Amino acid sequence: MATDAQNSPFIKHLASSDKKTRDQALTSLRAFLSAQTEISELDLLKLWKGLFYCLWMQDKPKLQNRLSSDLASLPATLRPVVVLPFLRAFFLTIAREWINIEALRLDKYLFLIRQYVNASFKYLAREKWNEDMVKQWNGIMEEIPLNATETKLPNGLRYHVLDIWVDELEKVEEGWAKEEMREALGRVMEPVEKLAKDGRLKVVRTAAKECLADERLQAWRGEAQDEVDEEMSDEKDEEWGGFDD
């Protein structure tokens, strides 16, 4: 069970300053996770709490980035049925712990989030942007980091995910500009589109629209710059009426 993994010494050893110890711990964790055909949500959350605080205790910048990259390699080792629940548990953990992340520790978690958005897109790319897989992934995004209405979810997480979204799409797929990729691109952008339309706060909607206005995305979609500029202008011209109820 994942609870066993959380309490195992190899979780703590992932933050070791000794490379051999770290590598052995990662190998043990990969072996454990790759053998699982099903892990409960509770066990995944317990596991991710252990991994979150493993990174918390790592103070050396180079080792922080190494650990984040190692953790982001885990989804590629999982059985397909476990991948999306594992990713969901990651984002739930980040959202829950966000308020506790001190300023001095924030950068390493922002890097981890970037690595996990990238790992997520890599998984979808391996699945050839399968419609059902993307739909399930979108559900996770709309439930947690890009939730349009839940005020308890941290806006800082929303902003960061929006800021890196197109960057990581570009890294994992070179063919976005191809006509046959337009439909897949439209699907994967749906959480951002929904946030731009339905976000409760104007600043969040604006951030989502800025993501959609990225020149790379416009080029992939064959959009005209003036159309996107007009949408942004409409948003800026709206009279602010205070926070939504």
Q: Work out the burial of residue 234: count CB atoms within 10 Å of its CB; fewer than 13 is exposed, 13-18 middle, 19 or more buried.
A: exposed
Contacts of 214 (CB under 8 A, 6+ apart): 166
Of 53-62, 170-179, 213-222, minimum mean pLDDT range: 53-62
Give dist(CA 240, CA 189) in Å, integer. 27
The rounded distance, in Å, linking the Cα atoms of 43 and 157 is 24
What average pLDDT does the chain have? 89
Q: Which residues of 22-47 are buried (b: 16+ CB within 10 A; e: fewer)?
A: beebbebbbebbeebeebeeebbbbb
Q: What is the pLDDT of residues 26-59, one digit of tens each?
A: 899 999 999 999 999 999 999 999 999 989 988 8
**What does the pLDDT read at residue 238?**
52
- For the entire predicted model, the pTM comes to 0.88
Comparison of pLDDT for 29 and 8, the residue scoring more = 29
The answer on pLDDT for 117 being more than 90 is: yes
How high is the pLDDT of residue 242?
A: 42
